[in-house]
Amino acid sequence: MTKPCVTQTTNSWPHNALLSLVLMVGALVPLALQADDSVANVAEKNARCLRCHGMETLRYQELATGNMRDFHVDAHKFSQSNHGQQGCVTCHKGDFAALPHRPENTNQYHSCADCHTGDKVLQRMRLVGITAQYKKSVHVQRGVSGFDCFSCHNPHESRLEEIKKPAGNIVDRDNDVCLKCHGTRESAEEKHRIIPKAPLHLKEVRCLECHTPRPGSVIHAIEPATRAERTCEACHSRDSILLTKLYKYRLHESERRTGFINGVVLSDYYVIGMTRHPLLDALGILGMGGAFVGVMVHGIGRWLAARRRQNHET
C-alpha cells in the first residue's frame, strides 16, 4: 500500500523578500557603476580644460579697453559647486581643440535660462521675476558695458547651500562682489560717511540691503546711490528690511525658542530697535519710568526742603 504524497509547505515570505532584495541590488549596481563612469568621464574631460584654466595666472589685458580678462577656474570650488558635475563643453560649445582658442568660441554669451528651462524650474528658481528685476537695475538702465548675470554670479563657484551660511560669510562674499568694480573697503567707508559707524555697518550688512528697493524679494533691481535707503528705521525697527533680505532664508528659525522678536538675528548680533523681547521691553519701560519718578520725587523733595529752610530762616 502506497503512502499518500505529502508536500511540506514552508513559509515563502522570507525567501521571496531575499530574492527581491538580491534582484534589486543586481539591478542598481550597473546603474551606479554607469553613473560613476559618467562622473569619471566628465572629470577626465574637464581635467583637460583645467590644465590651463586651473592656473591662477591665466589672464590677459585687452589692448582696446585696458581691462584684465580672467580665465582662471578654481578646480576645487568648481567641483563643489552646483555645476561641478557638468562638463565644461555643456555650456562652452564649439571647437576648443585649437590653441589658443578661436575668438568666436571665447566670446560666447551665456544665460542661466540656456539650461534652466521649463515651467517648474523657472518657477522654483524665479528666473522670470529675477530677469525683470535685473532689467530695472542701474547697471542695465545705464548700459554698463559687459554687465550680465555672471558679473556678480560666478557659475564655476555658485552653491545654493551658501544662502544658509552665517550672515557674516554672506556679507563678506556679496560685498566683495560689489567691490570688484566699486573700489576698496576704505573708499566705500569714505563714500558712506553719512552713516554713523560706517565701518561697522559695511562689515555687518550688505550693500544690497540699502541699494535695493523694498521689499527684499527684489534684490536684483539695484538702484543708484541717489535712491539708496537713508532712514535708520529701515533696519532698526520690528519690521526691519534685514528680515526680507539678509535673513530671508532663516526666518523659520523659531522666535518661540528664545522669546525674542526677530530672534533669528541674535545668532549674529543685537540690532537696536529690531531685536526685542516683550518681557525685557516691559522691564525696561518700568525701569525708565521708575527712574523718572525717582528723579521727580527727589527733585520735589529738595524743592520742599529748600522752601521749608527758607521759611525757617525768615
Cis peptide before 100 (omega within 30 of 0): yes
**Per-residue confidence at 24, pLDDT binned at 50, 70, 90?**
low
Q: State mean pLDDT over 88-103.
A: 82
Residue 270 class from Cβ within 10 Å (0-12 exposed, 13-18 middle, 19+ buried)? exposed
Beta strands in the chain (DSSP E): 59-61, 68-70
Q: pLDDT of 174-225, one tens digit each?
A: 999 999 888 888 888 888 988 888 898 888 889 998 999 876 567 889 999 8
Nearest to residue 178, comparing CAs of 145, 152, 159?
A: 152
What's the pLDDT score for residue 37? 44
Question: Is 59 in a helix, a strand, or coil?
Answer: strand
Q: Is the pLDDT of residue 304 over 80?
A: yes
Nearest to 154 by CA among 245, 58, 80, 63: 80
Domain ranges, ordered by start, for the chain: 32-60+67-108
d(C-alpha 245, C-alpha 208), whole Å = 8
- What pLDDT sits at residue 232? 86
Contact yes or no for 250/264 (Cβ under 8 A): yes
Average pLDDT, the chain: 76
- Band of the pLDDT at 31, cuts 50, 70, 90? very low
Contact 248, 258 (CB under 8 A): no
**Alpha-carbon dihedral 231, 237, 239, 245, rounded to 10 degrees:** 60
Question: Residues 125-153: pLDDT tens digits?
Answer: 677 788 888 889 999 999 888 788 888 88
Asked whether residue 36 carries a pLDDT value surpassing 60, the answer given is: no
Average pLDDT for 267-280: 63
- In b/e form, how buried is each residue of 53-76, taking b as 16+ CB within 10 angstroms? bbeeeeeeeeeeeeeeeeeebbbe
Q: Which three three-digit cell numbers place residue 141?
A: 538702465
Q: Quick one: CA torsion of 73, 79, 85, 87, rounded to 10 degrees? A: 20
Q: What percent of the chain has pLDDT over 90?
A: 10
Residue 79: is its pLDDT beyond 50? yes
Q: What percent of the chain has pLDDT over 70?
A: 71
